[in-house]
Amino acid sequence: MKHSGSIRRAALGAACAVAAIAAAPFAAQAADVTVRVEGQTGALLAPTSVTIGSGSGTALTWDGRAMPIRCADDSVYGATEKATVGNWDRNPYVETIIRERHTWSPNEEYWILYHNNDYADWGACDLHLRDGDTVLWQAGKSGPSPDFIPDSVPIQIARVGSGTIRPGGTVTIQLTAWRPTDIFGTPDPSDPNHWIIPPSPSSTPSGYTISGGTSTRTTNASGQATITMPSTAGWATVGASVPGSSSNWSRAVPLRLCVGTSPC
C-alpha cells in the first residue's frame, strides 16, 4: 500500500465519515458526551457537554434540520454538530472547525480525532458514542516516517497533593499525555472496512511548559513542574502546552486552583 493511501486510511480516516449508519453497535439510550476542540494556537471549544441520541435515529443539525451526511444520532458527527452549534464544515473529511482550517496538502495537517484519549479507529460518522465518552478534535500534523504518529496528542494536568495553597506558595503540577503507538492498526476480522488501532498508553513526558501563577516552568522526566502562586488570595489558572512548536499543538484544559481560603 502506498504511503499516501495508508495515511488517508488511518491518519485521515479517523476524521472521515462513511455514509453507512450501522457500522458499530448502537447505545441503548440517549447519552451525555463531552466535545472539545483544540486549534493550532489556542482552544477553540472548551469541554462542552451535549446530549446525543440512542443510535436509532439520524443526526440532525443543531436546529433540527437534515444534515448533509446521513449518520446516526449517537455518532461523533452528530455530537460535533451540537457542540459547535453548526460551526464546522459538516464534511465527510473534516477540514474546518470553528473557522480554523487544516488541509492535508501541502503540510500534512489535519484534524485528529481522539476518542476517550485514544486515536480513533472509526471516522466521525461511524464512531458511536456512549454515556460519559469524550471527543477531542485536535489540530495536528502527520509525524515522521515510518510511524507517522503526530506530536499533537491529548494531555491533562492535575495538582499533586492537596490542602490549602498559601498566597505566594508553590504547587507541583503533574502532566499526563496519551501518545498513540500505532495509527494504522490491524485488520478487523469481523469487518473488512475497519482497522483496529490499539489504545494510546498514558505517559508523563518532559518538555511541556506549565504556566500559571507568577511563573512558567518545564516538566521534568516525571512530567512534573513546580510553579509559584500569586501573592494574593483568589483563583489561579494553570495551563500546559508547547509554545511555538511547529508540530506539537497539544493543550491541556486549564486547571483552576484556589489560592488561600477566600474569596474562592
Half-sphere exposure of 6 (CA within 13 A, CB side): 15
Q: What is residue 28's predicted lDDT score, i.e. its pLDDT?
A: 58
Query: Which residues partner with 261 through β-bridges?
Result: none
**All 3 cell numbers of residue 141?**
500534523
Cross-strand pairs, 118 = 115
The whole-number pLDDT of residue 15 equals: 40
Please give the pLDDT value at position 92.
86
At 228, the amino acid letter reads T
| Predicted pLDDT at 29 | 84
Pairing label, strands 234-241, 255-259: antiparallel
The three cell numbers of residue 207 are 518538555
Residue 84 CB partners (closer than 8 Å, separation 6+)? 35, 37, 45, 62, 97, 98
Distance CA(142)–CA(110), nearest Å, equals 8
Q: Cis bond leading into 150, ω under 30°? A: no
Q: What is the mean pLDDT of each run of 10 residues along the chain (264 residues)?
A: 33 38 51 97 98 96 96 98 98 95 97 98 97 98 97 98 95 98 97 96 98 95 97 96 97 97 78
The per-residue pLDDT for 261 is 82
Domains of the chain, with CATH numbers?
Answer: 1-150 (2.170.130.30), 151-264 (2.60.40)
pTM for this prediction: 0.89
Instruction: Give pLDDT, residue 5.
Output: 32
- pLDDT the model gives residue 8: 37
Whose CA is closest to 72, among 18, 32, 113? 18
| Distance between CA atoms of residues 47 and 254, nearest Å | 10
Cβ proximity of 122 and 24 under 8 Å = yes
Q: What is the dihedral of CA 68, 128, 8, 142, to 10 degrees?
A: 110
Give the pLDDT confidence score for residue 176 in this predicted structure.
98
Return all residues near 189 (Cβ < 8 A) that are at least 6 apart.
Answer: none
What lies within 8 Å, CB to CB, of 120 at 6+ separation is: 14, 76, 113, 114, 127, 197
pLDDT, residue 10, reads 37
pLDDT at 112 (0 to 100): 98
- What sign does the CA torsion over 165, 166, 167, 168 have? negative
